[in-house]
Structure 1
Amino acid sequence: MDVPAHRGLRHVALRVTNLKRSRAFYEQVLGMSVVWEPDADNVYFSSGADNLALHQISPGELQAYAAATRQLLDHLGVIVESPQAVDRMYAAVAPKIVSLGGAIAKEPKQHRDGSYSFYFSDPDGNVIQALYEPTISRLRWVSHD
């Protein structure tokens, strides 16, 4: 089967219950920078190698929104360069995560496959894994601009 080449999963869009709160979380915890803000209900971020969109759930839908019964995504992941970088990130952002409405889901841990990570959630309960993964953490991004 021929599959078209692509550059990986580099765009994620999340629906959020409070755009202002979620914006602060992603800016302060993951250092995401705004690349486009088309209106008051949408903001697009980048770390330089990806794109994250946050979309405010409309007031009419907000009443019926039930994240626990509608959330099918297990977690998102951000790749870091080493196990030590996981520990540095954990030390730097754990207090911010909690103060911005998120939570620590799992503390740093070595996994059976040689990876190392910790998990945290954003204010809407979306789980994020800060991950050192031996296969892809060492990749270098090359710009062809």
Structure 2
Amino acid sequence: MIRHSGLRHLALTVSDVDRASAFYQHVFGMKIVWQPDPENVYLSSGCDNLALHRGAGGDPSAQRLDHLGFISSTIADLESAWEWAQAERLDIVHPLKRHRDGSVSFYIRDPDGNVIQVLYEPNISPRRIGS
């Protein structure tokens, strides 16, 4: 078994680093922690790391990511996020839904078409990194 502290880093290929960076800063409040050059930027919300790398799109052999997720601490936080996403006219893929396992989520799309699930999940939402 590989000992680890949780899945906290994700790298996405985007067509426009500045546009993608602005999206994640505006929508999720992430901050730039490092931008080594105009083709790459690293963002964080404090306990995670999102790398955005400019790349050519349209390559059918490129890796595919179904979606990524941002966890809400409470259902109330998630419902507020849903209201905000609608008010901001974000590209909503799937509306707010309560699932049979007790989770609640909705899905949006970033400017490059990456699907993002905003999720309350009762088994992990109340937990803090390292607990």
TM-score of the two chains, using structure 1 as the length reference = 0.82
Aligned-residue identity in percent:
49
Matched letter for residue 116 of structure 1: V
Count of matched residue positions in the alignment of Structure 1 and Structure 2: 131
Give the unaligned 5+ runs of structure 2. none
Report the CA distance shift for 1:142/1:74 in structure 2 as closer, same or farther (over 3 A).
Answer: closer
Report if the CA contact (8 A) 2:97-2:104 is conserved: yes
Structure 1 counterpart of 2:66: 74
Structure with higher helix content:
1
Structure 2 counterpart of 1:121: 109
Give 1:67 deviation, angstroms: 6.7
SS at match of 2:88: helix
Q: Distance in 2 between matches of 1:108 and 1:93?
A: 11
Q: Distance in 2 between matches of 1:31 and 1:54?
A: 15
- Give CA deviations for 1:75-132 in whole Å, capped at 9, x if unaligned: 100111112111101112334353xxxx100111100111001000101110000000
TM-score of the two chains, using structure 2 as the length reference = 0.91
Give 1:141 deviation, angstroms: 3.6
Q: Distance in 2 between matches of 1:67 and 1:94?
A: 32
Structure 2 counterpart of 1:84: 76
Give the unaligned 5+ runs of structure 1. none
Report if the CA contact (8 A) 2:5-2:130 is conserved: no
Alignment of 1:2-13 (within 5 A): 3-13=1-11
Matched letter for residue 97 of structure 2: K
